[in-house]
Amino acid sequence: MSFESLGLMPELLRAVREQGYEHPTPIQEQAIPIVLEGRDLMGRAQTGTGKTAGFTLPLLQLLAPHASSSASPARHPIRALILTPTRELAMQVEESVRTYGKYIPLRSTTIFGGVNINPQTKALRAGVEIVVATPGRLLDHQGQGNLNFSQLEVLILDEADRMLDMGFIRDIQKILALLPAKRQTLLFSATFTDEIKQLASKFLKTPATVQITPQNTAAELVRQIVHPVDRERKRALLSHLITSRNLEQVLVFTRTKHGANRLSEQLDKDGINSMAIHGNKSQPQRIKALEDFKKGVVRVLVATDIAARGLDIDMLPHVVNFELPQVPEDYIHRIGRTGRAGTEGEALSLVCVDEARLLKDIEKLLRKDLPKNVVAGYAPDPSIPAEPIQTGRGGGGGGGRGMSRGPRTSSSSAPRGASGRHPSRPSTRGK
């Protein structure tokens, strides 16, 4: 099937061709016609499936007939709102809007925290049709009277399961209350949990459903390996694997921000150029770290789970779980950063005795045992006892016991910082 057969307008087809795409992905093939019909949609797709273009292309076409490059700011009402869980994802979605909307006179902007609010306010007042936003900062703008949704036509919730995981259900409910009841709504999620289905039932009207990948399955092109190792030798093993195999462009996941910072510093001491990226980093710091990583200036990017869904890196070859996530589904999202767009990838997990239960939970989710490979010289000491996982500042060293799993609301999660609200600035609205 070609993009032409999906009924897209010439301006969009031209932009798609310029990006080098000839055939739509399965999510695009199924979702685009449904969206163009004006129907509500529930779409389940893992990262790397072309999901973003699957909703930005038809959205641009739906809005295009009324667009006019010569219209005054007053005639540029907000007609579409796209909600994302993280600032990185918001930036990438808006970049997609700009890329595919290159030949369509529509204005768009991103709204997220951690940066000065004034330029965002200026952009909103100048007039935009499409707003891509994180929930917290969007409500800040609403509180300041910068938003008018009276003419909103389309609402899109991207990575809806991640937003619920990060505790944004109240913010989402507040935002929904601001929007016209008569609108088209699209919800995209990597998983269709009961919570997602319950949320969708409240604000989607007889939606069509598109499911591209089997639920909770890892990318087929990702080679997954578990390296058993003692918790105190994880860093040494990671350095050994990177240097002995000459690995380049390695995305490494830790559970905590403190752990990410510490591991990055240790890798630098080992002569491996690395940077950490997490919710406490400023937006300019995070952008620079990602750009340097993509260019190869930085060999290793150490990240917390905030990056699991927010980063878009073409042909990323290696993902390392320095520490297993406490929620099994996050393992899927982490390794989904590699093995994309038809390229093979590798996911290595350094697993200590504390994480035995976490590994079992992941294997249960995957419905298969992951291959184990003990690296010569790094065999774990069977006499070392398991210790409870710590999720605060003391938990960055690789410890953790799956039996002690708590809710996803530990201090290391930093939901507000991750979503775009500056962690040091108090909320401007009541709870």
pLDDT tens, 80-99?
A: 999 998 888 898 899 999 99
- According to the model, what pLDDT value does residue 294 have? 85
Task: Using alpha carbons, select from 414, 116, 102 the residue that is nearest to residue 278.
Answer: 414
- According to the model, what pLDDT value does residue 417 have? 36
Q: Please check whether residue 405 is in contact with residue 362, taking contact to mean a CB–CB distance below 8 angstroms.
A: no
Same domain, 17 and 130: yes
Q: Please check whether residue 128 is in contact with residue 76, taking contact to mean a CB–CB distance below 8 angstroms.
A: yes
Q: Give one word for 240, left, alpha or beta, with left for phi > 0 and alpha for psi -120 to 50.
A: alpha
Listed residues 211, 236, 257: the one ending a domain:
211
Domain membership flag for residue 431? no
Listed residues 211, 242, 257: the one ending a domain:
211
Mean pLDDT of 22-42: 93
Using only C-alpha atoms, what is the Rg of the chain?
A: 22
Q: Please check whether residue 252 is in contact with residue 301, taking contact to mean a CB–CB distance below 8 angstroms.
A: yes
What total of structural domains would you count in the chain? 2
Domain membership flag for residue 170? yes
Same domain, 252 and 384: yes
Same domain, 35 and 158: yes
First to last CA, the chain: 49
Lowest mean pLDDT among 64-78, 151-165, 337-351: 64-78
pLDDT grade for 309, boundaries at 50, 70 and 90: low
Domain membership flag for residue 427? no
Same domain, 118 and 242: no
Looking at every residue in the chain, the average pLDDT score rounds to: 83
Domain membership flag for residue 216? no
Q: How many whole angstroms separate alpha carbon 409 and alpha carbon 425? A: 19
- What is the percent of the chain where pLDDT is above 90? 54
pLDDT tens, 403-418?
A: 333 333 333 333 333 3
Same domain, 18 and 166: yes
CATH code of the domain in which 115 resides = 3.40.50.300
Domain membership flag for residue 429? no
pLDDT tens, 311-324?
A: 666 678 899 999 99
Same domain, 84 and 226: no
Same domain, 187 and 253: no
For helices 87-100 and 10-18, angle between their N-to-C axes, nearest 10 degrees: 120
Domain membership flag for residue 150? yes
Same domain, 204 and 235: no
Domain membership flag for residue 152? yes
pLDDT tens, 99-138?
A: 999 999 999 999 998 889 999 999 999 999 999 999 999 9
- Helices of type H across 37-168: 51-63, 87-100, 117-126, 135-143, 160-165
Same domain, 154 and 176: yes
Structural domain including 108 reads 4-211
Domain membership flag for residue 426? no
Same domain, 268 and 381: yes
Same domain, 137 and 91: yes
Would you say residue 75 has pLDDT above 90? no
Listed residues 177, 211, 245: the one ending a domain:
211
pTM, two decimals, is 0.60
Same domain, 154 and 234: no
